[in-house]
Amino acid sequence: MVVSKELPENLAAKAQRRNWYARAEADKVLDWIEDSGQRFLGVDVAQKQEDGTWMLLLDNLDLSRQTENFEAVRRGRQFVAEYDGKGRMFAPVWQDRGE
């Protein structure tokens, strides 16, 4: 994850594991990305296994070539909604635009 601007403390505290969020919090991270002018790059997905370990899923959303940030965030929200399920966690990926 490329981060040069820190998430607000109250949002960062909701991470399940470092940068991984349940759907509701992932949506809030996407709100923050959009509102704060970060460049949204995509989302990684992990599944919590019965033994408590996490498995990174091959399904992910790579929008690093997307130039329109509004459209990238919209697609990110759609991806999170489609891949949400029991034990699923999401790691939004962004980059500070440096503006």
The confidence band for 2, taking pLDDT boundaries of 50, 70 and 90, is very low
Q: What b/e string do you get for 22-54 counting C-beta neighbours within 10 Å, with b at 16 or more?
A: bbebbbbbbebbbeeebbbbbbbbbbbeeeeee
The confidence band for 7, taking pLDDT boundaries of 50, 70 and 90, is confident
Structure tokens at 14: 């909701």
pTM for this predicted structure: 0.81
